[in-house]
Amino acid sequence: MQSSQLKQIVQGIPKAELHLHIEGSFEPELMFEIAKRNNIALDYDSIESLKKAYKFNNLQEFLDIYYIGAQVLIHEQDFFDLTWAYLTKVHSQNVVHVEIFFDPQTHTDRGIGFDVVINGIYKALEKAKRELNISFKLIMSYLRHLSEEEAFKTLESSLPFKHWIDGVGLDSSEVGNPPSKFVNVFKASAKHGYKLVAHAGEEGPVDYIWEALDLLNVVRIDHGNRCLDDAVLVQRLVEENIGLTLCPLSNLELKVIQKIEEHPVAKMLSKGILATIHSDDPAYFGGYMNENYYETAKALNLNTDQLMQLAINAFEASWLNSEAKEKYIAEVKDYFNSLN
């Protein structure tokens, strides 16, 4: 398939994004604009020098700069602008449904009110629903490098807004911070009606995926690359139809894989795993949804059937109701049929 033809096909696919950290969509231009508005001096003298710093060897190096960027977000308007910029970008890429993560502790730990953060994000999501026809779910993440006690404080802070929050997740530095560290807060979150997901098996071992499933009772695994190390786990993922939200360009940038051709998504599809593709932190990793689809399809030589399966899988793994899922999946099938 020609590159231009593949790009065109990818652009037209109706897509769902299920693995996106809103703070990770912070483009350098917007970061400078908000820093200026809030009279905050960044450690970089230009947009270009900041972009050069967006080169990482591992997850921790990325997180270090991710947290520096987040420091400029202070007011509700800042969180609104950040979220709205992401939503208009993905709208241009035919993303029709998003389930986005936000990291309240990144902000509350520096004295920003939980209400300030969520009001800005939620207002942008509501506007996108009205004006761009993008449906959404909102997922609050606990930072795993902090204590479970800290996570409990975040859970408490979230309760006045629980009608806006659909679920909780677990992210940040994976190695040395296993899912088992957060068993109690996940149990408590479920009691409040939150759905459960967790990052596992990105840099951490396959055991972390088992822990996320058995100890945290998650309904979806974020990343999950390492699942192929364990045939019994693969069988379970298939039997229970547990979605994996994979992020190919993120994996490449953070050296989870050395080159995109090594990405396991095609192998996962062939085994019947509910594998899906997303952007993770697109401002930092060189691509939003279309770039992730395109680069992966090109490197792995994916055919239109595989591309269609990836798009369908994302709606299947989403938290949409069955009627909305069916509607979107029918749109995906109609689109691919129209290509023949």
202 catalytic? Reply is yes
Tokens encoding 305: 């059937």
What is the spatial distance between Cα 168 and Cα 197, in angstroms, rounded to a whole number? 6
Q: Which of 174, 202, 291, 295 is catalytic?
A: 202
Sign of CA dihedral 200, 182, 170, 324: positive
CB distance 201 to 233 below 8 Å: no
- Closest to 133 measured CA to CA, from 183, 173, 88: 88
Residue bearing tokens 């609104």: 80
What is the spatial distance between Cα 55 and Cα 32, in angstroms, rounded to a whole number? 18
Helix/strand/coil (H/E/C) assignment for every residue in the chain:
CCHHHHHHHHHHCCEEEEEEEHHHHCCHHHHHHHHHHCCCCCCCCCHHHHHHHCCCCCHHHHHHHHHHHHCCCCCHHHHHHHHHHHHHHHHCCCEEEEEEEECHHHHHCCCCCHHHHHHHHHHHHHHHHHHCCCEEEEEEEEECCCCHHHHHHHHHHHHHHCCCCCEEEEECCCCCCCHHHHHHHHHHHHHCCCEEEEEECCCCCHHHHHHHHHCCCCCEEEECHHHHHCHHHHHHHHHCCCEEEECHHHHHHCCCCCCHHHCCHHHHHHCCCEEEECCECHHHHCCCHHHHHHHHHHHHCCCHHHHHHHHHHHHHHCCCCHHHHHHHHHHHHHHHHHHC
Enumerate the active-site residues: 202
